[in-house]
């Protein structure tokens, strides 16, 4: 940052400590915690890229969930505690955690195992099918209608429905049962869609100048955030560092994932795969992550609709939706899009665990299911105690 910029950032941070802004937007949420200079360097254009909206127009709730207790004070505390002999900040903020336990072949392994266990215990899983009809009678869900990959339609009776499909789609599938004002809220819920471009290269132009040992001197990061407003890419993932077992020749090749945020149907979303790979390579060279002229050995593009539930438009009316949905005693809304909340995987799992605990115990209210990840202060490593049921998790 250089001395001048550092002094400017320090002064603007102190100014924000002296006079807080009303916390009525994501912009003010960030400025109160980091000062205007650091906000404009690190958060303003990244947030605009991620959501396609100015942070002025986004609810501060998203900051409370994503950034949690991270602030300059928390950063300084973390740095100081690391300087102490044997110093490790035990209460480290979620955003500052430096070590993860990670499945050898990626997080999908967890769900492959869960699916195998469901089948082993006599459960049936219908794959490659889309639910587009929720059958209801007298404020109870009694079944679902779904379409298989070959376009054939089927119906299935249900005693209990746990829904992790996007709230917009859930309410759309409930048809005529849904009153007009609820439909309006559901259809107005915003989402951000996501394109990830995997690129296989022999090496990166970045060098590992840290003391962290890595295979082939690869730079040790798992994620690199791209704040630069002139670059469309939002984040770089280095899959070799998540787990070298996910890369077939990790000693000589690097798989990186370039993340782009779009809206379904916009000109970027519709780009053919080879043009996505071209854009990604061009931006990597522009940033100095790849050397110009170095060959891209392979690429792969994945498009994910509704990857991010967003916090604007009718988001503020979710309590109305929730109250209406809770009128269906045997319906539980769980997960990330299922609750339209920016939940990580642990929180998404926790909502399901809470729902199951209610079903087993016969508890009728769903406060605990909707209440996961609504606490402002959150410590990932110590959160198991926050679960109300007997289900505990180690994150
Ligand atoms: C780019 C990115 C990076 C992330 N990184 C992390 C991370 O590092 N750590 C972390 O903890 N979390 C991370 N997350 C968040 C994590 O992926 C989610 O919290 C988690 O996957 C949510 O689980 P879920 O079961 O609610 O939803 P999903 O995993 O989205 O599962 C819902 C499933 O339902 C299916 N579905 C939807 N509608 C229907 C329908 N009508 N009929 C049938 N099936 C349907 C979908 O196809 C999907 O398979 C990340 C998310 C993204 C997008």
For ligand 1, atom 26, the nearest C-alpha belongs to 335
- pLDDT of 90: 58
- pLDDT of 376: 54
The domain segmentation of the chain, as residue ranges, is: 2-93, 108-189+311-379, 191-309
Q: What is the 3-state secondary structure (H, E, C) of the chain?
A: CHHHHHHHHHHHHHHHHHCCCCCCCHHHHHHHHHHHHHHHHHHHHHHHHHHCCCHHHCCCHHHHHHCCCCCHHHHHHHHHHHHCCCCCCCCCCHHHCCCCCCCCCCCHHHHHHHHHHHHHCCCCCCCCCEEEEEEEECCEEEEEEEECCCCCEEEEECCCEEECCCHHHHHHHCHHHCCHHHHHHHHCCCEEEEEEEEEEECCCCCCCCCCCCCHHHCCCCCEEECCCCCCCCCEEEEHHHHCHHHCCCCCCCEEEEEEEEECCCCCCCCCCHHHHHHHHHHHHHHHCCCCCCCCCCEEEEEEEEEEEECCCHHHHHHHHHHHHHHCCCCEEECCCCCCCCCCCHHHHHHHHHHHHHHHHHCCCCCHHHHCCCCCCCCCHHHHHHHCCCCCCCCC
Confidence of residue 168 (pLDDT cuts 50, 70, 90): very high
Topology agreement, domain 108-189+311-379 and domain 191-309: no
For ligand 1, atom 21, the nearest C-alpha belongs to 345
Nearest to 369 by CA among 384, 390, 385, 347: 347
Q: Is the dihedral of CA 243, 244, 247, 248 positive or negative?
A: negative
**For 135, what's the count of Cα atoms within 13 Å in the CB-facing half-sphere?**
11
- For residue 336, the ligand 1 atom closest to its alpha carbon is 26
Residues with CB under 6 A from ligand 1: 130-131, 164-165, 169, 194, 259, 307, 335-336, 338, 343-346, 348
- Tell me: pLDDT of 127 over 50: yes
- pLDDT of 377: 44
* Separation CA 233–CA 391 (nearest Å): 39
Per-residue pLDDT tens over the stretch 296-308: 999 999 999 999 9
Confidence of residue 373 (pLDDT cuts 50, 70, 90): confident
Site to substitute for ligand 1 among 143, 161, 164, 166, most atoms within 8 A of C-beta: 164
Q: Looking at the domain 191-309, which fold is it? A: Polyamine Oxidase; Chain A, domain 2 (3.90.660)
Residue 69 near residue 97 (C-beta atoms within 8 A): no
Nearest to 349 by CA among 111, 66, 102: 111
Residue 23 near residue 60 (C-beta atoms within 8 A): yes
- Cα–chain center distance at 310: 11
Q: Does 108-189+311-379 carry CATH code 3.50.50.60? A: yes
- pLDDT of 91: 64
Percent of the chain with pLDDT over 70: 91
- pLDDT of 393: 33
- Tell me: pLDDT of 384 over 50: no
For ligand 1, atom 5, the nearest C-alpha belongs to 344
Phi, psi of 333 (to 5 degrees): -95, 120
- Tell me: pLDDT of 315 over 80: yes
For ligand 1, atom 52, the nearest C-alpha belongs to 307
- Tell me: pLDDT of 22 over 90: yes
Mean of pLDDT over the chain: 90
Percent of the chain with pLDDT over 90: 78
Determine how β-strand 254-262 pairs with β-strand 140-147. unpaired
- pLDDT of 386: 40
- Tell me: pLDDT of 178 over 60: yes
Mean per-residue pLDDT for 332-336? Answer: 98
- pLDDT of 93: 65
- pLDDT of 83: 75
71 vs 382: which has the higher pLDDT? 71
- Tell me: pLDDT of 394 over 80: no
Per-residue pLDDT tens over the stretch 225-274: 999 999 999 999 999 999 999 999 999 999 999 999 999 999 999 999 99
Mean per-residue pLDDT for 54-80? Answer: 81
* Separation CA 222–CA 256 (nearest Å): 10
**For 164, what's the count of Cα atoms within 13 Å in the CB-facing half-sphere?**
14
């Amino acid at each position: 940052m250089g001395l001048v910029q550092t002094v400017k950032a320090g002064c603007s941070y102190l100014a924000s400590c002296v006079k807080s802004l009303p916390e009525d937007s994501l912009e003010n949420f960030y400025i109160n915690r980091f000062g205007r200079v650091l906000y404009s360097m690190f958060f303003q254009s990244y947030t605009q890229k991620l959501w396609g909206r100015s942070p002025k127009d986004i609810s501060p709730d998203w900051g409370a969930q994503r950034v949690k207790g991270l602030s300059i004070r928390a950063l300084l505390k973390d740095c100081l505690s690391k300087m102490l002999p044997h110093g490790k900040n035990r209460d480290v903020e979620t955003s500052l955690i430096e070590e993860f336990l990670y499945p050898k072949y990626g997080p999908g392994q967890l769900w492959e195992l869960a699916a195998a266990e469901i089948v082993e215990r006599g459960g049936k899983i219908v794959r490659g099918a889309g639910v587009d009809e929720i059958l209801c009678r007298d404020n109870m869900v009694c079944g679902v209608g779904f379409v298989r990959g070959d376009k054939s339609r089927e119906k299935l009776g249900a005693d209990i429905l746990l829904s992790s499909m996007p709230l917009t789609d859930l309410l759309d599938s409930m048809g005529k049962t849904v009153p007009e004002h609820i439909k309006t809220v559901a259809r107005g819920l915003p989402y951000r869609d996501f394109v990830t471009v995997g690129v296989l290269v022999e090496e990166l132009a970045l060098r590992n100048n840290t003391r962290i040992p890595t295979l082939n001197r690869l730079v040790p990061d798992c994620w690199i955030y791209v704040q630069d407003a002139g670059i469309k890419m939002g984040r770089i993932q280095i899959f070799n560092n998540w787990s070298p077992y996910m890369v077939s020749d990790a000693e000589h090749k690097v798989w990186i994932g370039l993340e782009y945020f779009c809206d379904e149907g916009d000109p970027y979303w519709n780009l053919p795969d080879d043009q996505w790979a071209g854009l990604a390579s061009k931006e990597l060279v522009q940033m100095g992550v790849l050397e110009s002229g170095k060959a891209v050995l392979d690429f792969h593009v994945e498009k994910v609709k509704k990857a991010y539930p967003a916090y604007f438009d009718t988001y503020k009316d979710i309590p109305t939706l929730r109250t209406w949905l809770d009128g269906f005693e045997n319906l539980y809304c769980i997960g990330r899009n299922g609750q339209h909340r920016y939940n990580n995987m642990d929180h998404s799992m926790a909502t399901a665990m809470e729902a199951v605990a209610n079903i087993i115990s016969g508890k009728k209210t769903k406060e605990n299911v909707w209440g996961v990840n609504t606490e402002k202060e959150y410590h990932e490593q110590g959160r198991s105690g926050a679960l109300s049921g007997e289900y505990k998790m180690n994150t």
